[in-house]
Chains A and B, each alone.
With several copies, the nearest count.
Chain A
Amino acid sequence: MIALRLFITLCIGLTIWQVTVWLTGVPPFILPSPLRVAAAALDNASLIASHAGITALEVLLGLLAGTALGIATAVAMTYSKRFHELFFPLLVFTQAVPVFALAPILTLWFGYGMGSKIAMAVLIIYFPVTSAFRDGLAETDPALLDLAQTLGAKPLPTLLRLRLPAALPSLASGLRLAAVYAPIGAVIGEWVGASRGLGYLMLLANGRAKTDLMFASLIVLALGAILLRIAVNSIAVRMEAYARGIAASG
């Protein structure tokens, strides 16, 4: 089912793309037609695949680390109002700083290996996860909190057994965003300094005016992002269903 729907979407997407190319007369070196891109993808299949593998690994590690860090921060902010008040503006600050400015610092600390790309993916995911989850934790039904209080609840179990499950839908929302942003994070990391990965391949293709190869890598990246989002969504749906006390159906 999902495969079929995805296929239909793909067809629609390709049609829109092709029609845009026709109607606006965008030249192929700015926006190549789907056919040209497909040809470039086939010609460079093994090249793209080897670079894609590296990016995929960076994305997954970044997603895991960023989510973990985001959850931890959101929890800390919920638990200490002072921490929230002092730390949150700093967090906004780091987000409002364009990554390119931080990139040299990151590469200085993490080197040109995978470390700096994962760091970049983490940096990008971290904020939406933290922000969404914190909003969720802050919105716990006050009646349930009153109940916990009368039951003599301690802070940690109140967090783990009440606030956290109740905020799962918000976390799910944050994760859905993170799944989409993680690939971008890794690619930006690769632009900043890399010798492998889809981002590197894109830059290379762009520099050599091979727009079709660039778009081919880009499509692979975007498809990967969609697959990742589908996978994360199925976890997110389960989390929402759990919080509502329904058996998840898909």
Chain B
Amino acid sequence: ADEMTVLLDWFVNPDHGPIIIAQEKGYFADAGLEVEVIAPADPSDPPKLVAAGKADLAISYQPQLHLQIHEGLPLKRVGTLVATPLNCLLVLKDGPIKSPADLAGKKIGFSVAGVEEAMLTAILENHGVAFDEIELVNVNWSLSPSLMSGQVDAVIGAFRNFELNQMNIEGVDGKCFYVEEEGLPPYDELIYVAKSDEIDADKITRFLRATELATQFIVNHPEESWEIFASTSPELQDELNERAWADTIPRFALRPAAFSAGRYSAFEAFLVDAGLAPTENPVDVIAVDVTKP
């Protein structure tokens, strides 16, 4: 079998369902792959390590990929794991923020630095709030705790499938403003990236095919797939993961290899507009359909 190393964006969680299920159900083995899955703690590391040739694939975020390519990282999107944004602007359900317009003069927390500024600028603009009217605070890993404890009025970068459940379990309900409904171009939250000049199309195609099978299995057998997923590690067996699992299923890319060039160029244009990228890169620099003969 061909060996393959895949770096997750973070510790194993339901977002990684298709990979774990493909592993557990033997779809990788069937595809002649021996996949080693490694989980880091800092989501900005995996793309770098793939770009350095230390792994075949990394899971990353589409907005980050655009920036990384502009910074000269030899990376390309080769597949999609989660095909919609998961990111949301999270506030307290019963709090004073009823609309992003109410955020003027407030504090907004974020965790993974990158495109939050641009996203917020776009969302706030839609509601007539200027970016310099808010204060952006890096809250590192405590997105929902800092919101629940009232230290910030909203957080950006929260994942709708997790933080909402998490807050509900803690007894403080949250409310999501979905970024794609607030004027942001839609994008793929989680994608597979590979080193742009060493793409092994055959291996990656087989890999994506296996995850496609896994995704189908998950969609068809949500309960059974949860059991399989949870059985892989005792850390995963809890209420939060179980609820997140259910909420994540509709977000998985049903066609992992497929990509829409228009979506990628629209997002690239958005970043150039926001001043985060100097010039628009052509789409074929950013993403590729590895199944294209």
B-binding residues in A (CB < 8 A): 26-30, 44, 47, 100, 103-104, 107-108, 111-112, 190-195, 200-201, 203-211
Q: How far is the CA of A27 from the CA of B114 in the complex (A)?
A: 21
**Residue from the set B70, B142, B169 with the largest chain A CB neighbour count within 10 Å:** B142
Given contacts A204-B113, A209-B44, 5 further A-B contacts (CB under 8 A): A47-B234, A193-B142, A203-B113, A208-B114, A209-B68
Chain B contact residue count (CB 8 A cutoff): 53
CB pair B234–A207 under 8 Å, yes or no, is no
Question: A-B contact count, CB below 8 Å?
Answer: 161
- B166 interfacial by beta-carbon distance below 8 Å: yes
Q: How far is the CA of A206 from the CA of B46 in the complex (A)?
A: 12
CB pair A27–B148 under 8 Å, yes or no, is yes
- Chain B nearest CB from A198 CB (Å) reads 12
CB pair B13–A103 under 8 Å, yes or no, is no
CB pair A191–B140 under 8 Å, yes or no, is yes
A-binding residues in B (CB < 8 A): 10-11, 13, 38-42, 44-45, 47-49, 51-52, 54, 64, 67-68, 70-73, 107, 109, 112-114, 135-142, 144-146, 148-149, 151-152, 162, 166, 169-170, 234-235, 238, 240-241, 276
CB pair B140–A208 under 8 Å, yes or no, is no
CB pair B11–A204 under 8 Å, yes or no, is yes
Chain A residue numbers with a CB within 8 Å of B144 are 29, 209
CB pair B145–A29 under 8 Å, yes or no, is yes
Q: Which one, B11, B13, B45, B51, contacts A27 given CB within 8 A?
A: B51
Assuming the A-B contacts A104-B142, A112-B137, A194-B137, are A203 and B41 also in contact, with contact meaning beta carbons closer than 8 angstroms in the complex? yes
Q: Which one, B39, B42, B49, B71, contacts A208 given CB within 8 A?
A: B71
Chain B residue numbers with a CB within 8 Å of A209 are 44, 47-48, 64, 67-68, 70-71, 73, 144-145, 166, 169-170, 240
